[in-house]
Amino acid sequence: MTPPANETSHRVALPVLERFCQDVLSATGADDASAETATRAMLHASRLGVDSHGVRLLNHYVTAMAGGRVNPRPQLAFHDGGGAVATLDADDAHGARATYAAMARAVDRASTQGIGAVGIRNSSHFGPAGAYAMAAADAGMIGVTVCNSDSFVRLHDGASRFHGTNPIACAVPLAEQRPWLLDMASSAIPYNRVQLYRSLGQELPAETCSDAHGEDTRDPDQAEMLAPLGGAFGFKGAGLAGMIEVLSAVVTGMNLSFEIAPMGGPDFSTPRGLGAFVLALRPDAFVDRATFDAGMRRYLNALRASPARSSARVMAPGDREWAEADRRDTAGVPLDPVTAEAFQTLAQRFGLSSPVPVEG
């Protein structure tokens, strides 16, 4: 789904954003690893055009760390589950700190076992699921990442919140090309996208949100819950969310979506107890690498050459995002008005230079 246009946004160069985010998180009390990984995840999303999960989350993360919800200096503890399996107790770390570490362990296990799986306990909001799947692809492996979140998505034909947006991501390494990258919520859109549309004063896409009675609405100010992925066939999105719930929460012994405290507060002092699950697969454990690479080339060449509808273009998962990354590497990242204002406030609070010019 194409994000809303924001032609009047401030644009900030990626290196400037990276330095600002790390400085703000460090000033909040985060250790170096937490500041680096939280920033790395946000910049992944902002660079690829997934603005709902990018640097606009910085102010929220500051609030969560300052309030005590997120441990800014966690002690991560891995527990060996035997063979290719491990569990990580994240000590209420920032979700990016926990998930990058878990994927690194999964990749390490896959290097010798062919597959590595890590369940994550006591984590928190981790932003873009694709960032961690990409960490596996960067190591030459297939990466899969899932996480549950607080209840905000109605069931198919439901009229109350049940599942979280429960994202899933998969990244596949490609020879001499950028990875095939799928990163999606099991809801029609993520809630952060509602906040972004609200900030920009734009109407929501049809069949993505519901009001307090479970009826469709396109008014972001009336959106009380999200619809499951699939529109009239929303039972598919609801079922996918359930699978993610099992892997993220049931397998790890963590809170189910309807047991997790709301991301938006008002309590920012109590850890939320999120679970997550990551998987790394080494392709040449299944088939020789040349055969795997050739298969991916044939698949993607055929996909991109497939006939398109009038005035449309067929793209593989990740094609749109990589093209946007190329643009933003040169033009910078657009900041919506709410985020720009928050950055100015954070800069003043911590005595830093704002990456956004002051109006007037």
The pLDDT tens digits for 310-333 are 989 999 999 999 999 999 999 999
The pLDDT tens digits for 71-93 are 999 999 999 999 999 999 999 99
Does residue 6 have a pLDDT over 60?
Answer: no
Check residue 5 and give its pLDDT: 45
Q: What is the mean pLDDT of the chain?
A: 94
Check residue 359 and give its pLDDT: 57
User: Can you tell me the distance from the alpha carbon of 230 to that of 188, in angstroms, rounded to the nearest whole number?
Assistant: 7
Which strand (E) or helix (H) includes residue 99? helix 95-113
Q: What contacts 24+ positions apart, CB below 8 Å, involve 298-301?
A: 300/174, 300/177, 300/180
User: Can you tell me the distance from the alpha carbon of 21 to that of 37, in angstroms, rounded to the nearest whole number?
Assistant: 11
Domains of the chain and CATH, by start: 75-316 (3.30.1370.60)
Check residue 2 and give its pLDDT: 47
Q: Which structure tokens are listed for 197?
A: 């549309």
User: Can you tell me the distance from the alpha carbon of 49 to that of 328, in angstroms, rounded to the nearest whole number?
Assistant: 8
The pLDDT tens digits for 268-281 are 999 999 999 999 99
Check residue 1 and give its pLDDT: 46
The pLDDT tens digits for 175-234 are 999 999 999 999 998 887 888 788 888 999 999 999 999 999 999 999 999 999 998 899
Does residue 7 have a pLDDT over 80?
Answer: no
User: Can you tell me the distance from the alpha carbon of 298 to that of 300, in angstroms, rounded to the nearest whole number?
Assistant: 6
Cis amide linkage into residue 167, ω under 30° from 0: no
CB 113 within 8 A of CB 279: no
The pLDDT tens digits for 132-189 are 999 999 999 999 999 999 999 999 999 999 999 999 999 999 999 999 999 999 999 8
Check residue 193 and give its pLDDT: 80
Which strand (E) or helix (H) includes residue 34? helix 32-47
Check residue 358 and give its pLDDT: 63
Distance in angstroms between the alpha carbons of the first and the last residue of the chain? 35
Report the percent of the chain where pLDDT is more than 90: 90
CA separation (Å) from 238 to 9, 83, 135, 144, 244?
Answer: 35, 32, 28, 19, 10
